[in-house]
Copies of this chain bind each other. A is one copy, B any other.
Amino acid sequence: MSHNTFGHMFRMTTFGESHGPALGCIVDGCPPGIPLTAEEIQSYLDKRRPGQSRFTTQRQEPDAVRILSGVFEDGETKGQLTTGTPIMLLIDNVDQRSKDYAEIRDTFRPGHADYTYQAKYGFRDYRGGGRASARETAARVAAGAVARKVIPGVTIRGALIQMGPHKIDRANWDWSEVGRNPFFTPDAHAAVQWADYLDGVRKAGSSTGAIIEVTASGVPAGWGAPLYGKLDQDIAAAMMSINAVKGVEVGAGFASAALSGEDNADEIRMRHGKPEFLSNHAGGILGGISSGQDIVVRFAVKPTSSILSTRKTVTKTGEDTDIMTKGRHDPCVGIRAVPVGEAMLAIVLADHFLRHRGQVG
Contacts and interface: CB of A to CB of B under 8 A. Distances in A.
A226 B292 contact: no
21 contacts: A9-B9, A13-B13, A14-B228, A15-B68, A23-B69, A31-B359, A32-B123, A33-B122, A111-B286, A112-B286, A112-B287, A116-B287, A119-B289, A164-B259, A208-B260, A232-B240, A246-B251, A256-B302, A261-B306, A273-B318, A281-B302
A153 interface: no
A70 B15 contact: yes
B262 A309 contact: yes
A192 interface: no
Given A15-B85, A248-B249, 9 more contacts: A17-B70, A29-B359, A108-B268, A136-B227, A164-B257, A247-B254, A255-B300, A257-B334, A262-B307
Interface residues of A, number: 158
Interface stretch (A44-52, A174-182, A350-358): A350-358
- By Cβ-Cβ distance, the 3 closest A-B pairs, closest first, are A113-B287, A358-B358, A111-B265
A20 interface: yes
Interface string A205-246: 011111100000000111111111110111111011101011
Interface in A27-85: 28-33, 66, 68-70, 72, 74-75, 81, 83-85
A273 B243 CA distance: 30
Contact of A303 (B207, B264, B314): B264
A120 B4 contact: no
Contact of A261 (B123, B265, B266, B303): B303
